[in-house]
């Protein structure tokens, strides 16, 4: 039975039923009773496995198809009427041509199956900045993930009211055929079409599809920002909390930074770190003219491998109840889960992520990996030991500093500050990092990833840079300060020099000191670099003042090389790159060449 009288919603769902002809339609109301019944059904069909309820209460295990384990950028499209509006960074097809291709695939694809209608809200219920989507799907896995990642059911429909302003998301597993896998955004129509995938990033349409690709376009049109950024708060001993947003490409330690535990030198003074979000920030200009951020999500979709008691205890503890594990190994001895980096004791009696039983150490999949390198946990935010009390604040939190970062072995120093908002937009646009397993393709190649939005910008990247510059004009002197970090500098043997993890807070504290005008900095061709003595290294045995100075050094030749890479990116994006950024690039080259 439909849960709403909103005629726009009812008409669209009816259209979806006519297209995909499911045997029955179930509206997801968000009640625990309904969700429990769906879990039980998934256990019966084998779609999911219930784990040890004493050790992992409410936790389940799911395996995707072997050909369906990551986002597929080559199969992800932005369909706008004019090709230029999607830009060259995105795959584009004419919307009508794409629909002509996909409609036959959707036609009758849910025969013999159930269609689930999931109303969901991105952002806190009651927030003027939240937005509603409806996703139809034939996957219980999607329903249960969306319950964790968003606010689903009747409350989302109440937020929508009679409005037609909702994102229409249609997902069908069809037959999980790689050749016919498409994840398509129609930003001008507020619509997302996903078919032939069952993997999270391709099918949880509230996540990257809506919260970044569609929302970035909405933000450009409506005067706000949707960014691939974590949001964290640092609470000082006096009780005041300052908020930082930060953008990193996948697997650069974003979740670790969002949930960092202060090192002893700060903990004993009474500093605390609070997590508002680990992946996406929607930012609006508040009544006081400052920038405010909300986390549109309600859970964490984290990479499991490498998450452990040392690297990220808060993330690990967040996964201990009510979590969906995807493509990790199944420890049959006690019906729990395991992944590389969890501990040093891989289970003897286990199933690897493909479901193949293994005995001892002879694993078949992924070069001897029990869990897939991009295996995931979907965990409720409310489980997080360091969740900010502002998490559900409908107005968001004020942003003091913005950070860009990536993996660079040699080029970028540990930290530097941009000269201005405009220069900061240049710094974000020039971001580069070494690729990881979160996206399909080669690993370890340096690729340009402006603002960590390359795979997620729902319109022309040049226009996107322009929107950043516009936001800076509106913010004026109330704009957050912009910084760049690189935790990943290596020595001659390829070992990381900076300890990372909780010790990254030492760098964040320098940023906050800069924002408050408490410390000076050294002006270099690339930006303001700290004086080594202004970064607190108390308690770090391996980091001396000299080592720190080395981490802050600028090699002009490497940077001039880097400038060429940025120029190539700008030339690729084309004539919509704002003149201001071309000027920033030329000015940087001139400073480096002096």
Query: What would the 3-class secondary structure string for 315-379 be?
Result: HHHHCCCCCEEECCEEECCCCEEECCCCCCCCCCEEECCCCCEEECCCCCCCCCCCCCCCCEEEE
Helix, strand or coil, per DSSP, at residue 7: helix
Sign for the CA dihedral angle at 91, 407, 284, 163 comes to: positive
Kindly give, in sequence order, each residue whose CB lies less than 8 Å from that of residue 329, ignoring residues fewer than 6 positions away. Answer: 337, 338, 339, 346, 347, 350, 351, 352, 353, 370, 371
The rounded Cα 178 to chain-centroid distance in angstroms is 24
Any binding-site annotation on 501? yes
416 is in an annotated binding site: no
Judge whether 549 is annotated as a binding position: no
| 255 labelled binding-site residue | yes
Instruction: Report d(CA 479, CA 421) in Å as an integer.
Output: 7
Could you tell me the sign of the dihedral formed by the alpha carbons of 56, 59, 63, 69, in that order?
Answer: negative
Instruction: Classify 380 as helix, strand or coil.
Output: strand
Q: Which position has the token pair 């990881």?
A: 436
Q: Which of 279, 8, 352 is nearest to 164 (CA)?
A: 8
71 carries a ligand binding annotation: yes
Residue 554 CB neighbour total at 10 angstroms: 17
User: What tokens appear for 426 in the block?
Assistant: 């240049």
For helices 579-593 and 421-429, give the axis angle rounded to 10 degrees: 90
- 420 assigned ligand-binding residue: no
**Does the annotation list 252 as a binding residue?**
yes
DSSP 426: H
Distance CA 147, CA 108 (A): 26
Binding residue per annotation — 447?
no
Written as one string, the DSSP assignment of 68-91 is --SB-GGGEEE--SSHHHH-SSSE
Instruction: Specify burial of residue 82 (Cβ count, 10 A radius: 0-12, 13-18, 19+).
Output: exposed
228 is in an annotated binding site: yes
Going by DSSP bridges, is the β-strand pair 166-172/131-137 parallel, antiparallel, or unpaired?
parallel
DSSP character at residue 439: B
**Residue 592 corresponds to which tokens in the numbers above?**
């480096």
- The 10 Å CB-count burial string (b at 16+, else e) for 156-169 is bbebbeeeeebbbb
Residue 374 assigned ligand-binding role:
yes
Round to whole Å and give the CA distance between 465 and 226.
13
Catalytic residue set: 252
Q: 269 near 200, Cβ under 8 Å?
A: no
- Is 331 known to sit in a ligand binding site? no
Distance CA 198, CA 23 (A): 20
Host H or E run for residue 427: helix 421-429
254 is in an annotated binding site: yes
Q: Are 324 and 377 in contact (CB under 8 A)?
A: yes
**Under 8 Å between Cβ of 188 and 34:** no
Q: Which residue ranges make up the annotated binding site for substrate? A: 71, 199-201, 250, 374-376
Q: Which residue ranges make up the annotated binding site for GTP? A: 251-256, 376, 407, 501-504
Q: Which residue ranges make up the annotated binding site for Mn(2+)? A: 208, 228, 279
């Amino acid at each position: 039975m439909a849960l709403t009288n909103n005629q726009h919603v009812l008409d669209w769902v009816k259209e979806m039923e006519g297209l995909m002809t499911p045997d029955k339609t179930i509206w997801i109301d968000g009640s625990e009773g309904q969700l429990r019944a769906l879990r039980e059904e998934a256990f019966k069909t084998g779609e999911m496995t219930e784990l040890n309820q004493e050790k992992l209460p409410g936790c389940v295990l799911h395996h995707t198809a072997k050909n369906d384990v990551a986002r597929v950028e080559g199969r992800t499209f932005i369909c706008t009427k004019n090709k230029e509006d999607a830009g060259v960074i995105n795959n584009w097809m004419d919307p009508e041509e794409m629909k002509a291709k996909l409609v036959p695939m959707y036609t009758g694809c849910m025969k013999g199956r159930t269609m689930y209608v999931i109303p969901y809200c991105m952002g806190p219920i009651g927030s003027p900045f939240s937005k509603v989507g409806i996703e139809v799907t034939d996957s219980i896995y999607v329903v249960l993930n969306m319950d964790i990642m968003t606010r689903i059911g009747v409350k989302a429909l109440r937020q929508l009211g009679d409005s037609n302003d909702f994102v229409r998301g249609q997902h069908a597993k069809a037959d999980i055929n790689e050749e016919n896998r498409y994840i398509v955004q129609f930003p001008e129509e507020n619509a997302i079409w996903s078919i032939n995938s069952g993997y999270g990033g391709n099918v949880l349409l509230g996540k990257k599809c809506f919260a970044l690709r569609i929302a970035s376009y909405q933000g450009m049109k409506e005067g706000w920002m949707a960014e691939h950024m974590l949001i964290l708060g640092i609470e000082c001993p006096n009780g005041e909390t300052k908020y930082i947003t930060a953008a990193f490409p996948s697997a650069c330690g974003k979740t670790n930074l969002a949930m960092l535990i202060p090192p002893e030198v700060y903990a004993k003074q009474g500093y605390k770190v609070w997590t508002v979000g680990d992946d996406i920030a929607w930012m609006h200009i508040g009544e006081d003219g400052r920038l405010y951020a909300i986390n549109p999500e309600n859970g964490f979709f984290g990479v499991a491998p490498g998450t452990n008691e040392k690297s990220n205890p808060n993330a690990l503890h967040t996964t201990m109840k009510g979590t969906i594990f995807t493509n990790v190994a199944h420890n049959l001895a006690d019906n729990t889960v395991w992944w590389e980096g969890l501990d040093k004791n891989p289970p003897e009696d286990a199933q690897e992520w493909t479901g193949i039983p293994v005995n001892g150490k002879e694993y078949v999949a992924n070069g001897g990996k029990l869990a897939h390198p991009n295996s995931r946990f979907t965990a409720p935010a409310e489980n997080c030991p360091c969740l900010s009390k502002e998490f559900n604040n409908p107005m968001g939190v004020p942003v003091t500093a913005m950070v860009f970062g990536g993996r660079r072995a040699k080029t970028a120093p540990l930290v530097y500050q941009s000269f201005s908002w405009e220069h900061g937009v240049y710094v974000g646009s020039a971001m580069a990092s070494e690729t990881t397993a979160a996206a399909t393709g080669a690993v370890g190649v340096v690729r340009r990833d402006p603002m960590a939005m390359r795979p997620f910008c729902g319109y022309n990247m040049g226009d996107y840079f322009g929107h950043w510059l516009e936001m800076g004009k509106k913010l004026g002197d109330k704009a957050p300060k912009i910084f760049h970090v690189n935790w990943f500098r290596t020595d001659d043997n390829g070992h990381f020099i900076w300890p990372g993890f909780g010790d990254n807070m030492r760098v964040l504290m320098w940023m906050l000191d800069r924002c408050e005008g408490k410390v000076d900095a050294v002006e270099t061709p690339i930006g303001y670099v700290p004086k080594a003595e202004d970064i607190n290294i108390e308690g770090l045995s391996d980091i001396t003042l000299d080592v720190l100075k080395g981490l802050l050094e600028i090699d002009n030749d490497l940077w001039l090389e880097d400038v060429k890479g940025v120029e190539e990116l700008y030339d690729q994006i084309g004539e919509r790159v704002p003149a201001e950024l071309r000027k920033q690039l030329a000015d940087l080259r001139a400073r480096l060449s002096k």
